[in-house]
Amino acid sequence: MLAIQLRRNRHRAANWTKVQWLLRCDRDCMIAPQVRCVMSHAASAATDARPDAYQVLLDRCAKLEPVTTAVAYPCERTALAGAIEAAEAKLIDPILVGPAEKIREVARRAELKIDSYRIEDIEEPTAAAARAVEIVRKAEAEVLMKGSLHTDELLGAVVPSATGLRMGKRISHAFVMSVPTYPKPLIITDAAINIAPELEDKRDICQNAIDLARSLGKEKPKVAILAAVETISTKMPATIDAAALCKMADRGQITGGILEGPLAMDNAISLEAAKTKGISSPVAGDADILLAPDLEAGNILAKLLTFLAHADAAGIVLGARVPIILTSRADSVRARMASCGVALLVAHARRSGQAGA
Beta-bridge partners for 143: 69
Residues 79, 50 contacting (CB under 8 angstroms): no
Cα gap 259→157, rounded to integer Å = 33
Cα gap 113→1, rounded to integer Å = 75
DSSP per-residue letters across 136-197: HHTTS-SEEEE-SS-HHHHHHHHS-TTTS-B-SS--EEEEEEE-TTSSS-EEEE-SSS-SS-
Alpha-carbon Rg for the chain, nearest whole angstrom, is 22
Residue 192, phi-psi category: left (phi > 0), alpha (psi -120 to 50), beta (remainder): alpha
Q: Pairing mode, if any, of strands 312-318 and 172-178?
A: antiparallel
- Encode 284-314: b = buried (16+ Cβ within 10 Å), e = exposed: bbbbbbbbbbbbebbbebbeebbeebbbbbb
Cα gap 322→319, rounded to integer Å = 8
Cα gap 254→172, rounded to integer Å = 15
How far, CA to CA in Å, does 216 sit from each of 158, 261, 302, 322? Answer: 24, 23, 19, 15
Handedness of CA 85, 90, 92, 95 (dihedral sign): positive
Best CA proximity match to 53, nearest among 217, 171, 170, 220: 217
Beta-bridge partners for 290: 188, 224
Residues whose CB falls within 8 Å of the CB of residue 65, separated by 6 or more in sequence, listed in order: none
Cα gap 349→357, rounded to integer Å = 8
The predicted pLDDT at position 46 comes to 38
The predicted pLDDT at position 210 comes to 98
pLDDT 10s digit of each residue in the chain, 357 long?
A: 444 444 554 544 444 344 343 334 444 444 444 433 434 344 344 334 566 778 888 888 998 999 999 999 999 999 999 999 999 999 999 999 999 999 999 999 999 999 999 999 999 999 999 999 999 999 999 999 999 999 999 999 999 988 999 988 899 999 999 999 999 999 999 999 999 999 999 999 999 999 999 999 999 999 999 999 999 999 999 999 999 999 999 999 999 999 999 999 999 999 999 999 999 999 999 999 999 999 999 999 999 999 999 998 999 999 999 999 998 777 777 888 899 999 999 999 988 776 554
Cα gap 243→258, rounded to integer Å = 13
Residues whose CB falls within 8 Å of the CB of residue 90, separated by 6 or more in sequence, listed in order: 61, 62, 66
Residues 195, 239 contacting (CB under 8 angstroms): no
The predicted pLDDT at position 131 comes to 97
Beta-bridge partners for 139: none
Best CA proximity match to 185, nearest among 287, 83, 303: 287
Residues 214, 258 contacting (CB under 8 angstroms): no
Cα gap 232→263, rounded to integer Å = 10
Residues whose CB falls within 8 Å of the CB of residue 4, separated by 6 or more in sequence, listed in order: none
Beta-bridge partners for 316: 174, 325
The predicted pLDDT at position 356 comes to 53
Best CA proximity match to 65, nearest among 90, 82, 40: 90
Element (H, E) at 265: helix 265-269
Number of H helices, E strands in the chain: 13, 11
DSSP code of 198? -
In order of start, what are the domains of the chain with their CATH numbers?
65-167 (3.40.50.10950), 168-319 (3.40.718.10)
